[in-house]
Structure 1
């Protein structure tokens, strides 16, 4: 670890939306986490081919999206916002396309800032193409180089915030979710994932520092959100998914150990743990992200958010207009309500936060582990671990204990058929060696994942 976090930095009455201990102020004066919550609009293309011939049309799509979104933001007197471009794979495999997209979007945002005083920031999120089976190594080679090129040239083209949904460890974690294997999940997130995050985020932070941009943070979307969607469909237990969410916090924290400053990216609901431990602002998504995926976290996700996001929406026509413009309106009204409560009085803000929490937390263990009081308790225990491996075991074990206690207190609804899973998961955790090298060797020898190649991690 380049930087160490050893305690939570909030008490419950300070842990609230729109307010972070270490706000991020950008060059244009937009401050995230400095007292109010802002929209973060995430958008993507409709179904279409992306190739050299269609790139002019692709760029026109992105121009149209951001033009209409900025226009609606001005009409609604939005004081500031963040736009996120989650590049589609082709625009990372071909870095020059991703850079052209970044330029055209940021130029329109700058125009609205100059003409209408609409302060904004652009988050650039390339796809982690290292998941490609042809990728020769996680930390060097053509695929690594393309991702780093998008970050560096994208920053120079106008991206303010650098983020990614990285995939280190996903090659074993996908199988862990499928078979609800907690040992394998800890190996994927707590060993491979943390190793990869350290390498990846030291490089991204170096690029951010060199270009004068902000190293913003990573999310375990491909891990914990995959589990959440499968749990929502009834394919895996919700208690397993809830524990994965807490476990994911250890992995995502590594970005901040390597110098990231936030705001943490929207699709990592584990961001609440990152905020509790680091004091950095976070972006979260809830009810307004139903355009991208369903979840049991519609209101509670906003309780301590500093940016409020829609996840990702295609540029398709709806009755009210184009979908990204509609998302901008929905986010703007949500943020307006939260900011009004906050400006009314601190007590009103806490009351609204607690209503958002209570409206969701008892209906699903995945929501319950996002309660601010639960987050602070579990975070305090997680940071007592001295290594990522130790913290991962603590996170999983303490999440089991927290859910058990909540069931006992009738504070969360858990299906009876899932209760036995808590025993199986805890037994799995207790069987893990305290020696991370021995554990790693055991997992390599027993891995049945056809995608996992230890050599790509220098193992």
Structure 2
């Protein structure tokens, strides 16, 4: 499949840019249409702390069956118009592909039991990207690669409706960049190494999806920009760095769509708003209901453009109201009722704007997720011809937008944050326009045991 190039945004103004509606909705055989006007709850669940090995797999599968059964029963009780369940497989489930495939089978079988009660549902299956560690032979062949691909194929054959991943190409570089607030290195990790990795990875995922009658949904910068966001939230790094990093990450995440992914992208990819703006694909987002997994400063604003509403990930633990997955399914359903009722009453844009206003002036990360800001920056990003050019444009445009927000009084930040924007601008000015020259410099200065360019065929 030829790679698609997006040289214009899909939305021209704010009058059509809202939650629940995508220019390129995704329709499924059961009648669910994501991006067609209805926001669906997407429940993400995981196991409680327990050992995963061959001797415990029976108990592991029972845990998944129990949590999905409880969540589906609650969805039936609350008359949900449809639900999505995401299973982010744990490392042992991908290192041992059959274990992950068995999880997919059990979850899908449980969901099918509730179809008879009128519950429409979809399963998103997300293998772990295990292409890390000292024993990694190569990013695109060898044991690690083969096991990821085997897990994808087996999950699709087991009935997974959506295939996704949180890919890690370039993550070691990016981790160093975040800890040192090194913008050029972050740009190299995302716009060069990460983008190259995404193209190879997603070309293969799309092929597997086509062959297993599943949908290639999307990726996320969870291991990249989310790391920066969480560290910034704890004041370990400047918040403006995390905001700039988020928009740069959008270029990398968009490569999945360029290679054939159709959405909805992953919930933990807050950069999804830029993906939606440029490509028109629907997106899944997580906000206040993801507090069970991590804190953030964007709990409401991320709902402004969502097409699916998620909780990130919740363990199968008992709470006063019941088992946690069941409790979170209830919360997600009620949130989605609000989204959809505002739409039914012709007030979707009012609700969108209230969610934006509640967060946008309090944190740089929230500010750059404002739909108006997203559209403006997206129009600049698509002017680049390569992922490298677009990532560099994304950084420059975001720095400028943050400065404008601060100067206009629309964004409140500390003096330290203001000063750091100038530092970031200065760092960016050192990046040459010549990608080959930049790549050679970065490889020369950053080849370590953690980052071996030969493993990327670089």
**TM class, shorter-length:** over 0.9
Deviation per CA, 1:318-361, whole angstroms, max 9, x where unpaired?
A: 1000111111000000000110000011xx11000000000000
Q: Secondary structure at the match of 2:79?
A: coil
List alignment gaps of at least 5 residues for structure 2. none
Aligned to 2:432: 433
Equivalents in 2 of 1:387, 1:447: separation in Å?
22
Equivalents in 2 of 1:26, 1:212: separation in Å?
11
Residue 87 (1) aligns with residue 89 (2): yes
Deviation per CA, 1:41-88, whole angstroms, max 9, x where unpaired?
A: 000000000000000000000000000000000000001010000000
State whether residues 250 and 272 of structure 2, in contact with CA within 8 Å, keep that contact through their aligned partners in structure 1: yes
Q: Secondary structure at the match of 1:139?
A: coil
Deviation at 1:93, TM superposition (A): 0.2
Equivalents in 2 of 1:141, 1:410: separation in Å?
53
Equivalents in 1 of 2:400, 2:211: separation in Å?
44
Deviation at 1:449, TM superposition (A): 4.9
Equivalents in 1 of 2:279, 2:380: separation in Å?
14
Residue 158 (1) aligns with residue 159 (2): yes
Match of 1:18 among 1, 4, 20: 20
Aligned to 1:451: 450
Aligned to 1:249: 250
State whether residues 175 and 449 of structure 1, in contact with CA within 8 Å, keep that contact through their aligned partners in structure 2: no
More moved, 398-407 vs 441-450 = 441-450
Deviation per CA, 1:12-63, whole angstroms, max 9, x where unpaired?
A: 1111111111110112221111111000000000000000000000000000
State whether residues 286 and 311 of structure 2, in contact with CA within 8 Å, keep that contact through their aligned partners in structure 1: yes
Equivalents in 1 of 2:323, 2:142: separation in Å?
40
**Structural mapping, 1:52-451, within 5 Å:** 52-113=54-115, 115-345=116-346, 348-447=347-446, 449-451=448-450
Deviation at 1:445, TM superposition (A): 1.1
| Cα separation, partners in 2 of 1:449 and 1:180, compared to 1, 3 Å | farther
Deviation at 1:133, TM superposition (A): 2.3
Deviation at 1:89, TM superposition (A): 0.3
Q: Secondary structure at the match of 1:240?
A: helix
Equivalents in 2 of 1:27, 1:202: separation in Å?
24
Aligned to 1:7: 8
Deviation per CA, 1:400-427, whole angstroms, max 9, x where unpaired?
A: 0000000000001111112111111111
State whether residues 169 and 194 of structure 2, in contact with CA within 8 Å, keep that contact through their aligned partners in structure 1: yes
Equivalents in 1 of 2:456, 2:40: separation in Å?
38
Equivalents in 1 of 2:366, 2:77: separation in Å?
34
Q: Secondary structure at the match of 2:84?
A: strand
Deviation per CA, 1:123-165, whole angstroms, max 9, x where unpaired?
A: 0000000022211111111100000001111000010100000
More moved, 180-189 vs 205-214 = 205-214
Q: Secondary structure at the match of 1:41?
A: strand
Equivalents in 1 of 2:420, 2:268: separation in Å?
26
List alignment gaps of at least 5 residues for structure 1. none
| Cα separation, partners in 2 of 1:270 and 1:388, compared to 1, 3 Å | same
Equivalents in 2 of 1:177, 1:450: separation in Å?
18
State whether residues 447 and 453 of structure 2, in contact with CA within 8 Å, keep that contact through their aligned partners in structure 1: no
Deviation per CA, 1:165-209, whole angstroms, max 9, x where unpaired?
A: 000010100000000000000000000000000000000000111
- Given the two structures, how large is their TM-score scaled by the length of structure 1? 0.98
Equivalents in 2 of 1:96, 1:448: separation in Å?
35
RMSD, aligned CA: 0.8
Equivalents in 2 of 1:303, 1:448: separation in Å?
41
Q: Which runs of 4+ in 1 moved over 4 A?
A: none
Deviation per CA, 1:95-117, whole angstroms, max 9, x where unpaired?
A: 0000000000001111111x111
Equivalents in 1 of 2:106, 2:297: separation in Å?
36
- Given the two structures, how large is their TM-score scaled by the length of structure 2? 0.99
More moved, 244-253 vs 410-419 = 410-419
Aligned residue pair count? 456
More moved, 415-424 vs 377-386 = 415-424
Equivalents in 2 of 1:30, 1:412: separation in Å?
38
Equivalents in 1 of 2:45, 2:106: separation in Å?
14
Q: Secondary structure at the match of 1:433?
A: coil
Deviation per CA, 1:284-319, whole angstroms, max 9, x where unpaired?
A: 000000000000010001001000000000000010
Q: Secondary structure at the match of 2:235?
A: coil
Q: Secondary structure at the match of 1:363?
A: coil
